[in-house]
A = this chain, B = another copy of it.
Amino acid sequence: MKAGQRNSIAAELIAVLVAVTAGQPRVMTIRQGKALPSGPFELGHRSLQSGLRDWVEQQTRHPLGYIEQLYTFADRDRAGDASEQRVISISYLALTREEQAEPADKAAWRYWYDYFPWEDHRTGVPSVLPDTIVPRLKAWADAADSRALRHHLWQRAAIAFGLEDYAWNEDLVLQRYELLYEASFVEEAHRGRGADNAVFGRAMQADHRRILATGIARLRAKIKYRPVVFELMPPTFTLLQLQRTVEALAGRLVHKQNFRRLVEQQELVEETGALTADTGGRPAKLFRFRHGVLAERATSGTKLPLSRA
């Protein structure tokens, strides 16, 4: 059978475009922050990636740098309507430096923790977690029918949110979002019926927030073994700037001395010779990314010296 003739299938390209500015991670959005840049894949596109570039650059006037594929899905219940038209969504993670140029149209950079307030642990555990999310998750789990199910749900919550004896794991962004979705604590879970989205983060259209969660999770995992942070850095930077960027992405603080040790012993950077006329404190050496590492090491990378407890 010659495929495609009997099938009305369209492909949609979606980008999670990330930049870190002034120590804050941001994501490019359109429609008042309610959607990620996206557009249909068309016959004229050379490849999926070039199609993505076309759309994003058109919608946001911002060029894409590093790109990596996230996930492809086509679940029937996505659009809500069981129409004849079937859409395959192909999502990407893109990293860039925030440019001077004004984004086009309604495109705008948004702080990503506006969408996931419970994910930023840099200044300690966000109060919304112990105050609201955890008690509600507990109540939700307790409301389950069987004893086994109650235990199972609470177990999942404990792992995802670092409760009981489990430590907080910053990589579980997607699991946390999905748990909140399952428990109907995010607006997307009950469209139109209205929920207090103030507490559970800013909502997005369709499943864009889930895709964003996927992107954040991937990026948090990846910075630990691949030198991708540098895609987000300016040409030269101090080690503290680099550290702040990593911390912004990971949503948690790292041990400064150990971070330096790691970066230097892995020879990820080289001195430029210059110093910064910095904000308060002793002047810092300026570094640049040592591009050689990309060639030398197909493997290993930047492990985060995260704290134990």
| A contacts, CB < 8 Å to B | 1, 3-4, 6-12, 40-43, 45-48, 69, 71-76, 84-88, 90, 155-156, 159-160, 169, 171-172, 175, 295-296, 298-299
Contact = CB atoms under 8 A, between A and B. Distances in A.
A71 B69 contact: yes
Number of copies: 2
Contacts of A8: 4, 43
Contacts of A86: 43
Contacts of A175: 298
A88 B41 contact: yes
Q: Please name the 8 residue pairs, one residue from A and one from B, whose CB atoms are nearest each other, closest first.
A: A4-B10, A3-B40, A3-B10, A72-B72, A47-B75, A48-B74, A72-B90, A169-B299
A42 B169 contact: no
Contacts of A1: 40
Contacts of A160: 298
A159 B298 contact: yes
A89 to B, nearest CB: 10
Contacts of A10: 3-4, 7, 9
A9 B13 CA distance: 14
A50 to B, nearest CB: 10
A9 B90 contact: no
A299 to B, nearest CB: 5
Given A3-B87, A4-B85, A69-B71, 9 more contacts: A4-B87, A6-B42, A9-B10, A45-B74, A47-B73, A48-B72, A69-B72, A72-B72, A175-B298
